[in-house]
Amino acid sequence: MSISADILRGHTDTIILAQLMAGDSYGYEINKSISQQAGGAYGFKEATLYTAFKRLEQNGMITSYWGDDGPGARRRYYAITEAGMRQLAADRQEWSETKTVLDALILKEED
Amino acid sequence: MSISADILRGHTDTIILAQLMAGDSYGYEINKSISQQAGGAYGFKEATLYTAFKRLEQNGMITSYWGDDGPGARRRYYAITEAGMRQLAADRQEWSETKTVLDALILKEED
DNA sequence: TGAGATACCTCGCAAGACGAAGTACATCAC
DNA sequence: GTGATGTACTTCGTCTTGCGAGGTATCTCA
């Protein structure tokens, strides 16, 4: 069972920021981590993921650097910034409010 | 405090269907009702609302008819269909799952 | 040597939200 | 009687986001 794209729209950046709070990471790993935490119910498409990284970096929410270490293909690591942390805090607050409002509107009296 | 547009994206149709479960209604009234239930935290913009009605009607989720009664401008009433009710049930289910998944991803450990 | 996993990137389209602008009718204050 | 205000609906065009499709490069293992 997967969740439709439009429902997740707008949460993409928040989810990535939340992942980066656990420490620097790179695209592929972040995505695997998300899928795992979502119980396989959800995962970003690559295009979505890299579009989001670009957007977040342009907005100063994250910074990136090339990791030279590991085996396999080169990895671009991302780190959350101060601004990113502030944004995440705000997003979490908004998510809580959204839940309250949508529960009232969608589940109302559950006919 | 208002909720950003993209967060609500994809819930528009569901919210309207949920409102129509309480009985036939028309655009302006539905919107006022939604704002009220959301504690003023949220309301559709008119363009969003009418775009949604059109989409829902095209998809067979609702039907519409002109009401001739009341004073003031003419009103187009909407009624939810059988298909609309089934859709609403599915949407409600999806919303519950979405909450679980997003709580795990966004609120994770709440650093 | 070639299949498969890891890893990243870009282009262009589709869908949804909505700002802006417009139409029409009723009521109420002045 | 006229102008403001509220009710009520509609359409157009723009912006943002998600993502399908396609592409590149490296490493491992059979």
pLDDT-above-70 percentage for chain A: 90
Closest B-chain CA to A14: B106
Q: What is the CATH number of the domain that holds A77?
A: 1.10.10.10
Q: Please provide the size of chain A in residues.
A: 111
> From the Cβ of A46, is strand C under 7 Å away?
yes
More confident residue, B106 or A2: B106
Assigned domain for A27 exists: yes
Q: Distance (Å) from CA A69 to C1' C15?
A: 41
> From the Cβ of B64, is strand C under 7 Å away?
no
Strand-by-strand arrangement of the B62-67 sheet: B25-26, B75-80, B62-67
Who among residues 10-39 of A has its Cβ near strand C, under 7 Å? 26-29
Per CB-CB distance under 8 Å, the chain A contacts of B3 are 94, 97-98, 101
More confident residue, B5 or B1: B5
Assigned domain for B40 exists: yes
Secondary element (H or E) of residue B50 = helix B46-58
> From the Cβ of B47, is strand D under 7 Å away?
yes
Query: How far from A53 is each of A15, A17, A26, A50, A60, CA to CA, in Å?
Result: 11, 10, 10, 5, 10
Parent domain of B38: 9-110
- Residue A111: pLDDT over 70: no
Assigned domain for B28 exists: yes
Q: What are B56-89's pLDDT values in tens digits?
A: 999 999 999 998 665 667 899 999 999 999 999 9
- Residue A1: pLDDT over 60: no
Assigned domain for A2 exists: no
Q: How confident is the prediction for chain A on average, in pLDDT?
A: 90
- Return the pLDDT at B110: 62
Verdict on whether the full-model pTM lies above 0.75: yes
Q: What are A29-47's pLDDT values in tens digits?
A: 999 999 999 887 788 999 9
Q: Give me the amino acid identity at B53.
A: F
Residues 32-51 of B with CB under 8 A from A: 34, 37-39, 41-42
Assigned domain for A28 exists: yes
Q: What are B33-43's pLDDT values in tens digits?
A: 999 998 887 88
Contact B15/A105, CB-based, under 8 Å? yes
Assigned domain for A6 exists: no
Number of structural domains chain B divides into: 1
Contact B106/A97, CB-based, under 8 Å? no
Assigned domain for B2 exists: no
- Return the pLDDT at A72: 64
Assigned domain for A92 exists: yes
How far, in Å, CA of B81 to CA of A27, rounded?
A: 44
Contact A3/B101, CB-based, under 8 Å? yes
How far, in Å, CA of B69 to CA of B75, rounded?
A: 9
